Amino acid sequence: MINFDFLGGGNEVGRAAVVVGSGNERFLFDYGIEVQTGTGPIQPDLPLTAMFITHAHIDHSGMIPELYKRGWKGNVYGTGATHGLGTMLLKDSIDVQKKKGQVPHYQRIHIETMNNYWKNVDYNKPISVGKSSVRFLDAGHIPGSSSPVLETGGKRIMYTGDIKFADTQLVKGTKIWKEDVDVLIMESTYHYKNHPDRKSLENNLRELVQNIIYNNGTVLIPSFAVGRTQEMLCILDKLGFPIFMDGMGIRATDIILNYPKFIRDPKKLRKAFSRARKVHGNKDRKEALKDPCVVISTAGMMSGGPIGYYIKRLYQREDCALVLTGYQVEGTVGNVLMNTGRYVNEGVDAKLKMPYSFMDFSAHCGRDNLISLVKKTNPEKVFVIHGDGTQKFAKELKGMGFDAVAVQNGDKFKI
């Protein structure tokens, strides 16, 4: 008998956390935070046998130190890149929560305790944990991202985390669909649509950048520090235009380059990064705005980070452009901008004359890939998490003959 406890990520994108137990062993897959509100999932009971972390994004990792604050003394398993990037994002998350007037769930000291219990894993190498074993597969989502496959109680359970099938300039796509599993716990962020072809997207972006810069404009690209920033660098470097990097993406790139085996072409990224100009303060920002260039800056959803500095100075310029490249969560500055054409943040409410657009550079796979994952892994049970409207998707999978459930937070199952 295997128990499944869904603590977060049920019919929502955020605060992922699932406990899988068999006999007296209990494993926690991911322990994330809800990015906007700073709320965590339902707390798992302690002790746990071990914790498996799929990747550094804080909707999957943001609560880990809270377990150590509560006195847990177990191991957390993840790739080296997840550890390096995660540590940076966890520290930042404390600052962000404080800035928003929220009470942080833990302090820096608890991140240090976590570091003592972190065990680096390699892709595809089985690791024994108690009577069970776990293997981390490459998830193709961001550098170091993984999909753990747990063998426990005679069953093979795959927890996808966030996945992408197609290659990007930064990472190779996943091959997890090659596995044969009994239970599949799957993300479903884009169960309702497919993404455009990456190559044509890249070309469209290069063309846009070229046009704006030839007309003496500046292109602003708000980007997530981890993943998108580095992908943008790889795509745009070969144009040869000046690229300025601002915000946490600089440190994230440094960290990623310390783990070259988790990226597709470390040489290319290293070259692009060394050529890019790093912005450290307002003096550099002024400099960046003097001549036509590309600015890649956090925050990806524009709620924070230095991107606001540039928008406040360029929003009336019709010869410049703002390009959003990632998912914009409801209520974020980027989401409001997409819906209203206004930049509303920190006391500023401005209608943009600067043209803005959205390009779907998703790090998640789309609908067809999600369905083929289920068909190819052919599980006896599918739990659908990490998405909105998951009920509809689970129903569709049922129609295809799979025993699929859209779980809610707090749901418990026995298999």
Binding residues (CB under 5 A) for Zn ion: these are 57, 59, 162
Residue 31: CB minimum distance to Zn ion, A:
13
With respect to Zn ion, which residue has the nearer C-beta, 9 or 217?
A: 9
With respect to Zn ion, which residue has the nearer C-beta, 113 or 160?
A: 160
With respect to Zn ion, which residue has the nearer C-beta, 144 or 292?
A: 144
Residue 360: CB minimum distance to Zn ion, A:
16
- Residue pair 34/21 in contact (Cβ under 8 Å)? The answer is no
Residue 405: CB minimum distance to Zn ion, A:
19
**What is residue 14's DSSP assignment?**
S
With respect to Zn ion, which residue has the nearer C-beta, 59 or 179?
A: 59
- What is the Cα–Cα distance from 272 to 253, expressed in whole angstroms? 10
- Residue pair 179/379 in contact (Cβ under 8 Å)? The answer is no
SS (H, E, C) 270-284: HHHHHHCEEECCHHH
With respect to Zn ion, which residue has the nearer C-beta, 219 or 407?
A: 407
- What is the Cα–Cα distance from 51 to 266, expressed in whole angstroms? 29
Angle in degrees, CA 400, 378, 140, rounded to 5: 105
Instruction: Quote the tokens at residue 214.
Output: 């030839």
Q: Which amino acid is at 163?
A: I
Instruction: Quote the tokens at residue 111.
Output: 């991140």
Residue 62: CB minimum distance to Zn ion, A:
11
Q: What is the bridge-based pairing of β-strands 146-152 and 132-138?
A: antiparallel
Contacts by residues 104-111 (CB-CB < 8 Å, ≥ 24 positions apart): 105/33, 105/38, 105/40, 105/63, 105/65, 105/66, 105/69, 106/65, 106/66, 106/68, 106/69, 107/65, 107/69, 110/65, 110/66, 110/68, 110/69, 111/65, 111/87
Q: How many residues does the chain have?
A: 415
With respect to Zn ion, which residue has the nearer C-beta, 162 or 237?
A: 162
Residue 222: CB minimum distance to Zn ion, A:
17
Looking up tokens 């068999």 gives 22
Q: Cα torsion for 79, 85, 61, 395, to the nearest 10°?
A: -80
With respect to Zn ion, which residue has the nearer C-beta, 148 or 308?
A: 148
Residue 226: CB minimum distance to Zn ion, A:
9
Contacts by residues 276-281 (CB-CB < 8 Å, ≥ 24 positions apart): 276/233, 276/237, 276/243, 276/244, 276/245, 277/242, 277/243, 277/244, 277/245, 278/244, 278/245, 278/246, 278/250, 279/244, 279/245, 279/246, 279/250, 279/306
With respect to Zn ion, which residue has the nearer C-beta, 34 or 59?
A: 59
With respect to Zn ion, which residue has the nearer C-beta, 155 or 198?
A: 198
Angle in degrees, CA 34, 38, 39, rounded to 5: 70
| Cβ-proximal residue to Zn ion, closest one | 57
HSE-CB for 131 with a 13 A CA cutoff: 10
Residue 74: CB minimum distance to Zn ion, A:
23
With respect to Zn ion, which residue has the nearer C-beta, 176 or 288?
A: 176
Residue 386: CB minimum distance to Zn ion, A:
6
Instruction: Quote the tokens at residue 354.
Output: 């600067």
- What is the Cα–Cα distance from 186 to 359, expressed in whole angstroms? 25
With respect to Zn ion, which residue has the nearer C-beta, 59 or 66?
A: 59
Residue 9: CB minimum distance to Zn ion, A:
8
Q: Which residues pair with 157 in a beta bridge?
A: 150, 183
Residue 176: CB minimum distance to Zn ion, A:
15
Residue 311: CB minimum distance to Zn ion, A:
25
